[in-house]
Structure 1
């Protein structure tokens, strides 16, 4: 029996996940639009034999441009460039089901899968926030449940499009003058609540069949969607107990949906700050936190909590009368995580801003390579994770340190691969089968 091993994904974000990372002397404030920067990061992650790398995205300017580097390259475009700069590592991009059309997005992911030789992955998001909605002619964001209903139909159409070519449609019979078997083309002819899509995709079925399907929402609707469709889940928990609860709940939901729970990999985010000693790691963490501008964090926190500007006070705790998650139409699970963190640890707003500055609610961990490896192993062995979304506080140095000092420990413990081996596609890296085409039919003979 093959021993269970970790899956590691490198979550890349300009100069790093800590909001003050760009202010360090080593950081390039223009890194977010520098192809060489991302190419170097991809190669570092590939040197560490990571399963995949991941780029977050959204159709809106996320940050106050005064706060940190803002503006990012479109991820599928960037990943296409990284595909030719790497050989093994998976390439996962975020794309919204609320502000895209199935045909164009299915085509772009199929193209990336072809270009990369089967390494594409799609982080499926529904996109919270009125700001994004107003970029697409809407007055406000659609309701949370509506966004997930649309996402269900969007993915259904995308799967039909990826399956619209059977794998062996291309005949390439020069003597007979037959390039493809038209009987193996299956236009979706989809008529639904949100989409009407008639024709077949104009890209042949890709090496993986479908890109790896990833999901990153932990709300009730998010978990329902993940249980039905996701093959990897990027999630955020602050404690081992919360992570274990999420893990067991999602695996149970996946089983109830008629799927193999082993076919959905749960990867919590972790922001490691690594030092040769614990004191050195904590000193580096303090240095980063000291560079946070509290006023920027205050504005962002009020926005997340759906509060009017000026309600929060830096040296007071959160108001007692915050609305329940059920009243929130935006990022429900992140809202609850932040409120519970503040209540559980009785944090002032200033302290909460500091905690969120490193990873926006993901677990932050400062320590030696051995301590970081211990934390990862504990969560992995105690039913809280199948792997981790590694989110270095500072890039490229944080990823370099993780690859050079933590990965070797995980390898010595038998928890992680030392080389990529014969498996080539991203699905194979995650231990997943290639999906069969829903229209597979016997080969037809041309006369």
Structure 2
């Protein structure tokens, strides 16, 4: 056992132009920056100088709309370019298990891991929206329970493919050619409810054994999926009490699947707005908020709560009777809804107050670098997570402020590394290199 003090993991989540819906109005970069690889490379390099674990890209297979939207590049293609322009920082792509095939995804993510020298991961998500379903010839999204059954088998197949090459399958013989034992590469011969995959993967073991799997579901099905397959969990709890309970539950579930609970990292999301003083931070927040119209606020909160906008009065209590308990026989996402309703209940928030507290769907912190470090330290020491996924209000300035002012404060408190000590994403996260036996 190491005597080194426990330190947090930190990821930088690149949400378009920023975590605030009005980030484009700061005019730091043009809205078309989201199709410019240089924009993402800049943010990754800023994050890398802070020795941050990885950059994360959200994604979804449907057009989102909005005047500020300049489009979305394919995250795996984009992160391949980002990996080539950086040296140590991890690169994590979001991939839908609902509208992809595990063979292609296993190959693409393993390729990214080889190209990056062991820095790749993928965030496996189930896609709930009907718009995405219609892009793939379906009338609507699959029910919640069906999405998670498919995701479970999807990750099982991906893992089998990564493990289908033995650790020594590419050793060289005396003649300089590959000296491969007869059983060094084995077909997985998978037959399941959703997928039939006969052969082995196309690539040998990656530099970190296998890429990192991340997951974000908070429903019963999502929690079991993450506890069984994931190396890290993105979570959306907005109160300390809920975050502690979630972290404890996930660690216990991981143990129930025969895993070491310490090898499942819990990473709550945090939206940040930072200023040199509390007043400056608040002014920055107010400036961003001033660009959101009343209709935008109204539509935003109703969409997140999954309720008809006509049933909401922004300045009256939420209509609690309109929120039935989550069911597996629905198409919507459970995690964000539960986190936001719990926050509203605990603090008796109106819809207007709630929408101002949750701009990106996650907990919001507005303040000085010291105040941001305070909230990170409080949650970390209380056992609410093993680290955090940071969503600055606007890029690139929000990332630079966090790296140049919050990271040094965390280092002074002994809570974050001064430099990278390894070269792989697994090492950054404190996870073991995966070298299981052949399937």
* TM exceeding 0.5: yes
> Once structures 1 and 2 are overlaid, which stretch shifts more, 86-95 or 290-299?
290-299
Q: Deviations over 1:253-276 (max 9, x none)?
A: 222222111101111111121111
Corresponding residue for 2:414? 414
Q: Where does 1:310-325 land on structure 2 (aligned, <5 Å)?
A: 310-325=310-325
Shift of 1:176: 8.0
Which one of 41, 48, 51 corresponds to residue 50 of structure 2?
48
2:9 is matched with 7
TM-score under structure 2 normalisation?
0.94
Q: Tell me, which stretches of 5 or more residues in structure 1 are unaligned?
A: 441-447
Do residues 64 (structure 1) and 47 (structure 2) align?
Answer: no
Q: Deviations over 1:147-190 (max 9, x none)?
A: 11111111111111111211222244473865644431101111
Structure-1 separation of matches of 2:23 and 2:176: 62
TM-score by length of 1: 0.93
For residues 12 and 52 of structure 2, what CA distance do their matches in structure 1 show?
7
In 2 relative to 1, CA 177–271 (structure 1 residues): closer, same or farther, beyond 3 Å? closer
CA deviations on 1:115-174 (whole Å, 9 max, x unpaired) are 000000111111112221121122121111111111111111111111121122224447
Unaligned 5+ segments in structure 2 are: none
CA distance in structure 2 between the aligned counterparts of 1:176 and 1:374, rounded to whole angstroms: 56
Q: What is the DSSP-based 3-state SS (H/G/I as helix, E as strand, rest coil) of the residue aligned with 2:56? A: strand
CA-CA distance at 1:437 after TM superposition: 3.3
How many residues were matched structurally?
435
Alignment pair present for 1:424 and 2:412 = no
Alignment of 1:237-316 (within 5 A): 237-308=237-308, 310-316=310-316
**Whole-angstrom CA distance in 2 between matches of 1:163 and 1:113:** 14
Contact 1:15 / 1:29 at 8 angstroms: preserved in 2? yes
Q: CA deviation at 1:87?
A: 0.4
Distance in 2 separating the partners of 1:117 and 1:160: 21
Task: Specify the SS of the correspondent of 1:209.
Answer: coil
Contact 1:213 1:230 in 2 (8 A): yes
2:355 pairs with 1:356: no
Secondary structure of residue in 2 paired with 1:187: coil
Partner of 1:28: 30
Considering only aligned residues, what root-mean-square deviation do their CA atoms show, in Å? Answer: 1.9
How far residue 108 of structure 1 moved from its aligned partner, in angstroms, is 0.2
Tell me: CA distance 1:203–1:403, structure 2 relative to 1, closer, same or farther (3 Å). same
Provide Cα deviations, 1:313-350, integer angstroms capped at 9, x if missing partner: 44444323213232443111211222333343333333
1:409-445 superposed Cα distances (whole Å, 9 cap, x missing partner): 1111111111112x211111111111223218xxxxx
Question: Which position in structure 2 is the counterpart of 1:396?
Answer: 396
Q: Does 1:373 align with 2:367?
A: no
Contact 1:292 1:354 in 2 (8 A): no
Aligned to 2:111: 111
Shift in CA distance, 177/392, structure 1 to aligned 2, threshold 3 Å:
closer
**2:314–2:351 CA contact under 8 A, matched in 1:** yes
Q: In 1, are the aligned partners of 2:234 and 2:266 still within 8 Å (CA)?
A: yes
The residue that corresponds to 1:435 in the other structure is 434
The whole-number CA distance in structure 2 between the counterparts of 1:165 and 1:250 is 30
Q: Does structure 1 conserve the Cα–Cα contact (< 8 Å) formed by 2:304 and 2:337?
A: yes
CA contact (8 A) 1:214 1:231 kept: yes
SS at match of 1:84: helix
Secondary structure at the aligned position of 1:183 is classed as coil
Q: Distance in 2 between matches of 1:178 and 1:274?
A: 54
Q: Deviation of residue 101 (structure 1)? A: 0.3
**1:199 aligned onto 2:199:** yes
User: Are the equivalent residues in 1 in contact too, given 2:300–2:355 (CA < 8 A)?
Assistant: no
Over 3 Å counting, the alpha-carbon distance change for 1:176 and 1:417 in structure 2 is closer
Residue matched to 2:186: 186
What does residue 444 of structure 1 align with?
none
